[in-house]
Amino acid sequence: MVFASPHSGRDRPGDMGEAAGLALSTLRSAEDVGVDGLIAEGPQRGVPIVAGRVSRAYVDLNRAPTELDPALVDGDIEAPPTARVSAGFGVIPRRAGDGTPLYDRRLTRVEAVDRLERVHAPYHEALGDLMQAARDRHGVALLIDWHSMPSRAAGAGGRNRRGVDVVLGDRHGSACRGATMRRIRALFEAQGWRVGLNTPYAGGYSTERWGRPDEGFQAVQVELNRALYLDEATLEPSADYGRFSKALDRVIVALAAETWPR
């Protein structure tokens, strides 16, 4: 296995040039706060981790490098905008996670390419090296791409209150073997968590890129409900953090002990 956490980075390079006066909470609103720390025990279980260090507000590492936003980036853009790009959430986001515009200017094509070359490309090169090495050694490589989701996206509210606890995404069955997904789901459910599949998150760029079971690569995106471990208003660990972290470590131990189907 290989663990990845593309959205846990906090660093915002000085050349970002965001709009003046943006609140820190806005700049961090799309960040998967603390996810890299929650999975930090992976290497002790024999599972390498690649984690983003740069803020998602600067570059989104779980988007294709072609997902440039013509409303933000000046110059010719060859790829037609995806729905995510049109909504303002391309590889260089135009909007923060809370919907606030991040810029009061357009980025030059040179700025955009420079960001991708300095941040996006090295991350995916590192991830690719780990995935290739895992497959060469074991015959199969399984990417677990870790994320967090706001409780509102988990279906919170009403009688359901907190909504689902975990959403597993395998691009509707195309990114991993069915037996792999069933076992991963069972490991999360063994902690008493409610687990959803592919809704509202079926997997992003990394899951699509590495979800090629016939070639020995499988991928699953994991979305953790932030209400389980985080104060969503302050982005600080909640009183439940320790308990949740221990439960997640039990999942990681079980994942690392599995022999995954080819």
pLDDT in tens, 186-217: 999 999 999 999 999 999 999 999 999 999 99
The helix (H) or strand (E) run that includes residue 115 is helix 109-115
Q: What is the pTM of this model?
A: 0.95
- The predicted-structure confidence for 43-92, as pLDDT tens digits, reads as follows 999 999 999 999 999 999 999 999 999 999 998 888 889 999 999 999 99
pLDDT of residue 158: 47
Q: What is the largest CA-CA distance in the chain?
A: 51
Q: How far apart are CA 181 and CA 202, in angstroms?
A: 13
- The predicted-structure confidence for 33-45, as pLDDT tens digits, reads as follows 999 999 999 999 9
Please provide the DSSP assignment of 38-92 as one string: HTTTGGGGT--EEE--B-TTT--TTS-TT---TTTB-S---SPPPHHHHTT-SSS
- The predicted-structure confidence for 79-131, as pLDDT tens digits, reads as follows 889 999 999 999 999 999 999 999 999 999 999 999 999 999 999 999 999 99
The amino acid at residue 242 is G
HEC per residue, 165-205: CEEEECCCCCCCCHHHHHHHHHHHHCCCCCEEECCCCCCCH
45: its two tokens: 């279980």
Note whether 216 and 207 are within 8 A (CB). Answer: no
Q: How far apart are CA 40 and CA 4, in angstroms?
A: 11
Per-residue pLDDT at 9 exceeds 80: yes
What value does the mean pLDDT of the chain take?
95
Neighbour count for residue 156 (Cβ, 10 Å): 15
User: What are the angstrom distances between the C-alpha of 158 and each of 95, 155, 162, 163?
Assistant: 28, 9, 9, 9
- With a CB cutoff of 8 Å and minimum separation 6, the contacts of 15 are 111
SS3 100: coil
Strands 230-231 and 195-197: unpaired
- The predicted-structure confidence for 152-166, as pLDDT tens digits, reads as follows 887 755 454 568 999
Per-residue pLDDT at 171 exceeds 90: yes
The helix (H) or strand (E) run that includes residue 148 is strand 141-149
Per-residue pLDDT at 16 exceeds 80: yes
